[in-house]
Structure 1
Amino acid sequence: MSERTVKIESKVGLHARPAALFVQTAAKAPMDVTVGRPGHDPVNAKSILAVLGLDARHGEEVTLRAEGDGADELLERLQRLLSQPEPESA
């Protein structure tokens, strides 16, 4: 299993457009992908409602996990999305 801890740099946190781009990127992967805040259960990173429900804000850290072929590459793409002050297209 691959895992990364990432600081959210978007000013709106993991909400609205950044969340949509994050979920779209995760949904393209054939493996299970989760995202979670410290002290909380991880959620399905392919579910917009679950990701929005995290209420992850600017400056907070989240943990990304994926298992399978291409997991490291996927987590790298997701990390890049979360590490940007302003979201780009997926």
Structure 2
Amino acid sequence: MYKKTVVVKNKTGLHARPAALFVQVAGNFSSSIWIQKDEKKVNAKSIMGIMSLGVSRGATITIMANGPDEIKAVETLAELVSTETSDEVIG
């Protein structure tokens, strides 16, 4: 298992369209991927799970993956939420 803790920097956090983009990117990997915020851990390939975390700008989350492409998955998703303009990618 590979994991990384990051601070969400895009202005809307992981709500609505940024959450949909996150799920779409996560779905490109074969590894199992989870996001943890505080004590709650959800499947990163589930839009409802991600929305239930209520991740806003400035929140600290841990992205973890287990599988053949776990490092690439975690690093790609960490970069996505760590970029202030990630919400503009889909806008």
Q: Normalising by the residue count of structure 1, what TM-score does the alignment of the two structures yield?
A: 0.91
How many residue pairs get aligned? The number is 88
Do the aligned partners of 1:35 and 1:64 also contact (CA within 8 Å) in 2? yes
Richer in strand (by share) = 2
Richer in helix (by share) = 2
Q: Counterpart in 2 of 1:58?
A: 57
Please tell me whether residue 79 in structure 1 is matched to residue 78 in structure 2: yes
Aligned runs of 1:10-49 on 2, under 5 Å?
10-38=10-38, 40-49=39-48
Do the aligned partners of 1:2 and 1:65 also contact (CA within 8 Å) in 2? yes
Q: Normalising by the residue count of structure 2, what TM-score does the alignment of the two structures yield?
A: 0.90
Task: Report the Cα offset of residue 51 of structure 1.
Answer: 0.3
Task: Report the Cα offset of residue 41 of structure 1.
Answer: 2.2
The percent identity for this pair of structures is: 36
Runs of 4+ that moved beyond 6 A: none
**Gaps in structure 2 of 5+ consecutive residues:** none
Do the aligned partners of 2:32 and 2:66 also contact (CA within 8 Å) in 1? yes
Task: Report the Cα offset of residue 86 of structure 1.
Answer: 2.0
CA RMSD of aligned residues (A): 1.0
CA deviation string 1:50-84 (max 9, x = no partner):
10110011001100110111111111110111011
Task: Report the Cα offset of residue 29 of structure 1.
Answer: 1.2
**Gaps in structure 1 of 5+ consecutive residues:** none
